[in-house]
Chains A and B, each alone.
Chain A
């Protein structure tokens, strides 16, 4: 089975840096994704890690440690528009390794304040 945990809510200040953590326990791990979801909208892809280390993409960076079952998303130079839910999602191969499942974590609601 899968177990993916994130903090429920976080608050940060415009212009600051915030780190959103994700811990997971899963069988057949095959990569970790971060998605952003604004209220009432569809999730949109932010980043992908399959190997250990840091992936940087503009103001967003994501880190993965497979041995620790841990990832974080780092958001720099926060803007008001970054207020959204951030979803950690683990890709796992199903039985037989034929198909990828993408299972979402509990999500973190980030509020950016002036």
Chain B
């Protein structure tokens, strides 16, 4: 199993909603990442979890709240988002050699 699975694939939410994005991997990787990608732009790092602890927060607004319940799961809780937060949210897990495996992403639209 060399997959990173993200759900949902598409999400539409209002600015007052609370929703969550989920990511799962069963490759035994101990580091997981959240990236945000706008159209025709490269992925921007948001958070890194290493051994289930938050190790990097790239000054992300508090309306994005990450959570790592165990070594296979990574969530991103969303609350009071803005329309400019609409983007593709990519989850990745890191192999020991440093290579990242990406999920297909969750495409978020904030109305």
* Set A33, A42, A99: member contacting B48, Cβ < 8 A: A99
- Which of chain B's residues 12-47 have a Cβ closer than 8 Å to chain A? 31, 33, 40-45
Contact A98 B50 (CB under 8 A): yes
Total A-B residue contacts, Cβ distance less than 8 Å: 57
Mask, B86-101, CB within 8 Å of A = 1, is 0000100010011111
Q: Is A87 an interface residue (CB 8 A)?
A: yes
Contact A33 B42 (CB under 8 A): no
Measured in the bound complex, the distance between the Cα atoms of B100 and A31 in whole Å is 13
Contact B102 A43 (CB under 8 A): yes
Q: Which residue of A lies closest to B48 (CB)?
A: A99
Contact A42 B50 (CB under 8 A): no
Known: A99-B48, A101-B45. A42 touches B104 (CB 8 A): yes
- Which of chain A's residues 72-114 have a Cβ closer than 8 Å to chain B? 87, 91, 94, 98-107, 109
Contact A98 B55 (CB under 8 A): yes
A-B contact pairs, 14 of them (CB 8 A): A43-B43, A43-B90, A45-B100, A48-B99, A94-B56, A99-B50, A99-B55, A100-B94, A101-B45, A102-B94, A103-B45, A106-B41, A106-B42, A107-B42
